[in-house]
Structure 1
Amino acid sequence: MTSRHFLLTDVAVTAPGSLLLSYADGERLPVNLHEIIARHPTLQALGDPKVFATAALGEWRDSVIWMDDDNLELASDNLRARVLEQAGECSHEVILDWMAKHGLTLDSAAQELGLSRRMLAYYRSGAKPVPRIVALAMKGWERQEVERDSARSVATSNPIKLNVEKLGKSVSPSSSPPRKRA
């Protein structure tokens, strides 16, 4: 069963490329789809205002479909995520993408962000809005990982070797210097 915040009750075309979506949780949200239509070749037909005007609720109320064509269908959770992103907020999809990009499990992602597993699960599912501080924490974590990777790359591609021959022994940076005798 689709969560109430992803279940559609109505869809209205407000202009070519724009919809007003009504969700079961009472939210009425406008969304602009011009960028999505332009980016995805399978949705090119939606660029025609006559085709776009055929927008209707999908069979299970968890999508918007055009011309009763399964190839012209967008899921309600993706549409809601687009609404949030167009408003400058962080959607649940950003968390899903971030976790997948870095190979993080729910447990490891929660630990890295300093959140409880349950709270991150709420954000990831879209059940609760993603706070700006969590979005910023993900960006900060990514930046930190880039710096760590960069430091590791420099260390492995440009090793400094110290090879001092003294009394037949080789000294490396990881060993301690020989003691002087008084």
Structure 2
Amino acid sequence: MLTIKQVEPLDGFRLRVRLSNGKTIEPCIAEYLDAPCYEGLRDSYLLAQVDEWGHAVEWPDDVAIGLEALYRLAREQAGKAYPVAAFNQWMRRNGLSANEAAKALGLSRRTIIYYHTGAKPIPPVVGLACDGYNARLKQAV
């Protein structure tokens, strides 16, 4: 099972996270800073107090971000995953439930839920499939 071995803060609200598989990711956590409980991380002193806890990074006052979320962020920011916000906008814009999105993309409902909640990185090919779905809708009109 993949775990965090070491974490260090970097400039620009980025973290260098060394993983148990020998890889290093550097996600920017800026999108978290407007969420309740995370606002304090705008303070560089507090941000620097980051520590690893195997499956998450954490700060004082029980503020944490899980490894899956960090990994997804790093992949999105590196252009290796389709952004969760864009996927959710696609579902809303087309009025699709999880079942309908699964049928449209040829995926399982569970996979759609993973993507919708950000629990798993969305492969770029799924973003292309969303674009293809939209193109087919335009052609049908």
Same fold (TM over 0.5): yes
Find the counterpart in structure 2 of residue 90 from structure 1: 81
Query: Does the 8 A contact of 1:99 with 1:109 survive in 2?
Result: no
**Alignment partner of 1:135 is 2:130:** no
Larger radius of gyration: 1
Against the structure 1 CA distance between its residues 146 and 55, is the aligned structure 2 distance closer, same or farther, given a 3 Å change threshold? Answer: farther
Mark the runs of 5 or more structure 2 residues left unpaired by the alignment.
none
Query: Does the 8 A contact of 1:13 with 1:19 survive in 2?
Result: yes
Against the structure 1 CA distance between its residues 56 and 141, is the aligned structure 2 distance closer, same or farther, given a 3 Å change threshold? Answer: same
Find the counterpart in structure 2 of residue 63 from structure 1: 56
Matched residue count = 132
**How far is the alpha carbon of 1:24 from its aligned partner?**
2.2
Mark the runs of 5 or more structure 1 residues left unpaired by the alignment.
152-182
Find the counterpart in structure 1 of residue 67 from structure 2: 76
**How far is the alpha carbon of 1:48 from its aligned partner?**
0.8
Find the counterpart in structure 1 of residue 24 from structure 2: 28
Find the counterpart in structure 2 of residue 113 from structure 1: 105
Q: Residue 78 of structure 1 aligns to a residue in which SS? A: helix
Q: Residue 32 of structure 1 aligns to a residue in which SS? A: coil
Query: Does the 8 A contact of 1:98 with 1:138 survive in 2?
Result: no
Aligned-CA RMSD value: 3.4
* Correspondence for 1:49 among 44, 54, 59: 44
Q: Residue 40 of structure 1 aligns to a residue in which SS? A: coil
5 Å matches for 1:141-180? 141-142=133-134, 144=136
Q: Residue 88 of structure 1 aligns to a residue in which SS? A: coil
Against the structure 1 CA distance between its residues 92 and 47, is the aligned structure 2 distance closer, same or farther, given a 3 Å change threshold? Answer: closer
Give, in whole Å, the separation in 1 of the partners of 2:22 and 2:76. Answer: 19
